[in-house]
């Protein structure tokens, strides 16, 4: 008696596929690895995780609830490798950073800035500035530091890291975008 194999049915991917999940997971993993191994140079270390989720958000334009999830996962993943006095502050700060990135991407796309050359820089810069501002303010509260320590010592470092992350996001955005759309079979301008 011959057993007939069932015929395979191919289901084409829809436009709203779950590719964003794979891209997010891959870039966050890269960000966590780079965050863990990056040395602190003069008190400044790039926050690779923010740069990576800024790229992801710039590519996928997720809903705010998805951006919140991206920020939550990003915050949780860097807690073990955090070099700070209060690692759990990363959860709140990365949620704020990811939501900032998503709001900026949505705003820029809504006013026709989808092809604006410096969109990745702006997203990476402001996501880092908000995330770092929230994180350092939480740290200021936890450690009981005076406000002038936060404004004169911590915020300037956050701004330097924000500028560095803006550059990293800008430089890496185009290659990741090319890979993302090449794999999808589309030629994206």
pLDDT of residue 189: 43
- Whether the per-residue pLDDT at 8 is higher than 80: the answer is no
* Domain annotation covers residue 7: no
4 has pLDDT over 80: no
Residue 46, in any domain of the structure: no
Q: Is residue 63 part of a domain?
A: yes
Asked if residue 13 is part of any domain, the answer here is no
Instruction: Say if 107 falls within a structural domain.
Output: yes
Is 36 in contact with 19 (CB distance < 8 Å)? no
29 in a domain, yes or no?
A: no
**pLDDT tens digits, 127-168:** 999 999 999 999 999 999 999 999 999 999 999 999 999 999
Q: What is the per-residue pLDDT across 79-123, written as a single tens digit (0 to 9) for each?
A: 887 777 788 999 999 999 999 999 999 999 999 888 889 999 999
User: Residue 88 domain-assigned?
Assistant: yes
In this prediction, residues 49-78 reach a mean pLDDT of 93
**How many domains, in total, are found in the chain?**
1
pLDDT digits (tens, 9 = 90+) for 24-55: 888 888 888 887 788 777 778 888 999 999 99
> First and final CA of the chain: distance in angstroms?
56
Let me know if residue 26 belongs to a domain.
no
pLDDT digits (tens, 9 = 90+) for 179-189: 877 644 444 44
pLDDT at residue 39, as a whole number: 79
Concatenated DSSP letters for 123-157?
HHHHHHHHHHHHHHHHHHHHHT--HHHIIIIIHHH
- Does residue 41 sit in helix, strand or coil? strand
Is 49 buried (19+), middle (13-18) or exposed (0-12) by CB count in 10 A?
buried
Provide the residue range defining the domain that includes 170. Answer: 53-184
Q: For position 3, what pLDDT does the model report? A: 67
Of 14 and 21, the structure prediction assigns the larger pLDDT to 21
């Amino acid at each position: 008696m011959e057993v007939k194999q069932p015929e395979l049915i191919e289901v084409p991917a829809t436009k709203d596929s779950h590719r964003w999940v794979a891209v997010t997971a891959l870039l966050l993993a890269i960000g966590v690895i780079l965050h863990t191994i990056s040395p602190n140079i003069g008190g400044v270390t790039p926050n690779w995780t923010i740069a990576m989720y800024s790229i992801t958000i710039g590519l996928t334009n997720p809903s705010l609830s998805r951006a919140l999830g991206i920020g939550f996962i990003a915050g949780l993943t860097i807690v073990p490798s955090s070099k700070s006095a209060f690692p759990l502050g990363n959860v709140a700060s990365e949620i704020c950073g990811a939501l900032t990135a998503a709001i900026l991407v949505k705003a820029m796309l809504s006013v026709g800035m989808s092809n604006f050359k410096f969109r990745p820089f702006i997203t990476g810069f402001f996501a880092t500035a908000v995330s770092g501002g929230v994180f350092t303010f939480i740290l200021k509260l936890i450690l009981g530091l005076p406000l002038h320590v936060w404004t004169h010592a911590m915020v300037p470092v956050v701004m330097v890291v924000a500028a560095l992350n803006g550059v990293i996001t800008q430089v890496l955005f185009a290659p990741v975008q090319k890979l993302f759309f090449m794999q999808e079979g589309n030629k994206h301008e």
